[in-house]
């Protein structure tokens, strides 16, 4: 089992991320150990798909750890990550008599983790949260960092809170039932994180993609990915406005400017978010190369890595002009200018103002980036 200790710069608080096989069956003792000694109950928040697969195993283990267990299930899918459902989850905690010392256990992918996390952040002004992420994306990204949210009619993740978990348990066995597309989407985020982190993490990620049967390697990569995300978060817990240095939380948006545009243009119907990020990584790579920041051989490494993630839905039929319009209105724009996360090399991200990128270069890069994928 791998273990990572996450310390947050501004606070005394720290928590562990544990990664390994069969960890759900050991959840009881590990969860009990991090909760307030007065804690009596935990609520598993999950969805039916995940609960059918892992609910009983998790609940049995938590009960064996001396906790009273109840569960509340969200319908499956991004469209259910809403305020009305958050409301229902909070009502559930109240009806079940949850107290300040009790805890929420989020069992599922990023959708469940975000809504359950927001419920834990707001119920009685905040109770403990344990994350048991079951998708690759949630294991290497969403469960680490303390961001919780629901979607509003106007957009994704527009209402939320920062609420750090007390524990993250990553059972790598859960990935065995994950649909292929979800794995691809998770790996695209992994390639994105590797590309901004270091040659080492990038190389490790590609090696694991090349050797899918090697479970030890998989656990090592997940741990290394979490370590990287945790380090970024520890240095910039709340994504400080105005920070543009190479270790600000903002660099995690590598590939996201184009990804948001592709998702908006296709009304969130064509791409899993990670798949759109896969395309976005290639577009950011093209811009970096065209600005003379990134060598062709390093761009090729990015292309090869995204290809290893799996097949992406096509994006070359989408009009470049409309993508251009949408990227310049990206939700992360500040004062009307988009800040692009680009690469000066693998592991060397740099934030570049959209003003430094001509429309012509941008259009060419979008075309080339979306063309070159591995359909």
Ligand X SMILES: NC(=O)c1ccc[n+]([C@@H]2O[C@H](COP(=O)([O-])OP(=O)(O)OC[C@H]3O[C@@H](n4cnc5c(N)ncnc54)[C@H](O)[C@@H]3O)[C@@H](O)[C@H]2O)c1
314 catalytic, yes or no? no
CB of 232 to ligand X, least distance (A): 11
Q: Is 177 in the site for ligand X (CB under 6 A)?
A: yes
Q: Rule CB under 6 A: which of 213-232 touch ligand X? A: none
CB of 189 to ligand X, least distance (A): 7
81 catalytic, yes or no? no
99 catalytic, yes or no? no
The conformational region for residue 310 under phi > 0 = left, psi -120 to 50 = alpha, else beta, is left
Task: Write the interaction track for ligand X spanning residues 92-121; mark x where CB under 6 A is met and - where it is not.
Answer: ----------------xxxxx-x-------
Q: Which residue bears the tokens 């997940």?
A: 222
260 catalytic, yes or no? yes
Check: CB of residue 280 under 8 Å from CB of residue 255: yes
Instruction: Pick the closer one to ligand X by CB: 160 or 362.
Output: 160
Q: Is 239 in the site for ligand X (CB under 6 A)?
A: no
Catalytic residue among 18, 41, 147, 272: 147
Give, as one character, the DSSP assignment of residue 131: E
Instruction: Pick the closer one to ligand X by CB: 169 or 299.
Output: 169
Count residues binding ligand X (CB under 6 A).
29
Give the 3-state secondary structure of residue 106: strand
Q: Is 46 in the site for ligand X (CB under 6 A)?
A: no
Check: CB of residue 138 under 8 Å from CB of residue 110: yes
CB of 359 to ligand X, least distance (A): 30
Q: Rule CB under 6 A: which of 11-30 touch ligand X? A: none
Question: Which of 78, 220, 316, 344 is the binder for ligand X (CB under 6 A)?
Answer: 78
Task: Give the count of beta carbons closer than 10 Å to the beta carbon of residue 34.
Answer: 15
Catalytic residue among 125, 180, 269, 375: 125
Q: Based on the number of CB atoms within 10 Å of its own CB, is 73 exposed (0-12), middle (13-18) or buried (19 or more)?
A: buried
E strand or H helix at 24 = none
Question: Which of 36, 76, 220, 364 is the binder for ligand X (CB under 6 A)?
Answer: 76
Instruction: Pick the closer one to ligand X by CB: 47 or 164.
Output: 47
CB of 310 to ligand X, least distance (A): 14
Instruction: Pick the closer one to ligand X by CB: 13 or 337.
Output: 13
Q: How far apart are the first and last CA of the chain?
A: 36
Instruction: Pick the closer one to ligand X by CB: 124 or 161.
Output: 161
Q: Based on the number of CB atoms within 10 Å of its own CB, is 10 exposed (0-12), middle (13-18) or buried (19 or more)?
A: exposed
Check: CB of residue 127 under 8 Å from CB of residue 115: no
163 catalytic, yes or no? no
Question: Which of 157, 198, 266, 374 is the binder for ligand X (CB under 6 A)?
Answer: 157
CB of 148 to ligand X, least distance (A): 6
Residue 237 CA neighbour count, 13 Å, CB half? 15
Q: Which residue bears the tokens 């609910």?
A: 55
What's the CA gap between 51 and 78, in Å, rounded? 17
Stretch that binds ligand X, among 45-53, 66-74, 192-200, 261-269 (CB under 6 A): 45-53
344 catalytic, yes or no? no
87 catalytic, yes or no? no
CB of 295 to ligand X, least distance (A): 30
CB of 113 to ligand X, least distance (A): 6
What's the CA gap between 231 and 223, in Å, rounded? 12
Buried b (16+ CB within 10 A) or exposed e, 214-242: ebebbbbbbbbbbbbbbebbeebbebeee
What's the CA gap between 196 and 194, in Å, rounded? 6
Q: Is 140 in the site for ligand X (CB under 6 A)?
A: no
227 catalytic, yes or no? no
297, 320, 309: which is closest to 373 by C-alpha?
309
Residues that bind ligand X (CB under 6 A): 47, 49-50, 53, 76, 78, 81, 108-112, 114, 134-135, 137-138, 141-142, 145, 147, 156-157, 174, 177-178, 182, 185, 273
């Amino acid at each position: 089992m791998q273990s990572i200790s996450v310390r947050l710069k501004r606070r005394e608080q720290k928590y562990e991320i544990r990664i390994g096989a069969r960890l759900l069956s050991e959840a009881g003792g590990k969860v009990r150990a991090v909760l307030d000694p007065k804690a009596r109950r935990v609520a598993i928040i999950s969805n039916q798909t995940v609960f059918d697969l892992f609910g009983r195993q998790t609940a049995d283990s938590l009960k064996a750890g001396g906790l009273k267990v109840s569960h509340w299930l969200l319908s499956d899918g991004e469209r259910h990550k809403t305020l009305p459902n958050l409301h229902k989850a909070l009502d559930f905690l109240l009806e079940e008599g949850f107290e300040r010392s009790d805890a929420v256990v989020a069992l599922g992918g990023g959708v469940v983790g975000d809504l359950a996390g927001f419920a834990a952040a707001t119920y009685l002004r905040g109770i403990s949260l344990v994350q048991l992420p079951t998708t690759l994306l949630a294991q290497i990204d969403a469960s680490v960092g303390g961001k919780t949210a629901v979607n509003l009619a106007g957009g994704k993740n527009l209402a939320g809170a920062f609420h750090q978990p007390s524990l993250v348990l990553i059972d790598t066995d859960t990935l065995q039932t994950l649909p292929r597309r979800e794995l691809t989407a998770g790996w695209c985020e992994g390639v994105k994180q590797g590309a901004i982190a270091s040659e080492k993490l990038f190389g490790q990620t590609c090696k694991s993609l090349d050797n899918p049967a090697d479970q030890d390697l998989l656990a090592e990569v997940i741990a290394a990915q979490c370590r990287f995300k945790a380090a970024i978060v520890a240095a910039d817990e709340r994504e400080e406005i105005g920070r543009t240095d190479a270790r600000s939380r903002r660099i995690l948006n590598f590939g996201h400017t184009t990804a948001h545009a592709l998702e908006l243009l296709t009304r969130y119907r064509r791409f899993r978010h990670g798949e759109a990020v896969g395309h976005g990584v290639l577009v950011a790579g093209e811009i970096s190369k065209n600005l003379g920041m990134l060598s062709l051989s390093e761009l090729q490494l990015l292309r090869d890595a995204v290809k290893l993630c799996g097949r992406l839905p096509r994006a070359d039929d989408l009009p470049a002009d409309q993508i251009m319009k949408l990227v310049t209105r990206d939700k992360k724009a500040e004062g009307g200018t988009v800040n692009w996360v680009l690469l000066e090399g693998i592991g060397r991200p740099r934030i570049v103002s959209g003003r430094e990128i001509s429309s012509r270069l941008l259009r060419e890069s979008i075309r080339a980036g979306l063309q070159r994928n591995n359909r």
